[in-house]
Amino acid sequence: MKDLLLVAAGGFLGATGRFLVTSIIQSKHNYPFPFGTFTVNLVGSFLLGFLFAQHLFNADLLLLLGIGFLGSFTTFSTFEMESVELIRKGKLPISLLYMALSTIFALIAAFMGYCLGKVI
């Protein structure tokens, strides 16, 4: 039961944080590119890489931060739906750019977070 509560608490905070960050970012940009989701996915990838490098994870922290918070702060499903929606709207080049940049930069962000976590 404790494990479920840790994941739920982290998930609540992560999903709330994602909603706030994406809302603020998207309200400042009137572009078809989904900057809000792009940003939270890069930040979340960086933070997860950093946390894993720090070996800060005991079982409770992994459930709260890794699975709960960062699992709900980042969003693969929204990324996919935004990509499909761009294609549906006839914006294939933007969709392909979004998919490529999200994948490449998320991997780079996770690696950079991991490297930074190792030196700190």
Binding residues for Na(+), by number, are 71, 74
Match 């998207």 to its residue by tokens: 26
Q: Which of the 8 DSSP states describes residue 58? A: -
**Three-state secondary structure call for residue 30:** coil
Annotation: binding site: 71, 74
Roughly what angle, to the nearest 10 degrees, separates helices 92-119 and 76-88? 160
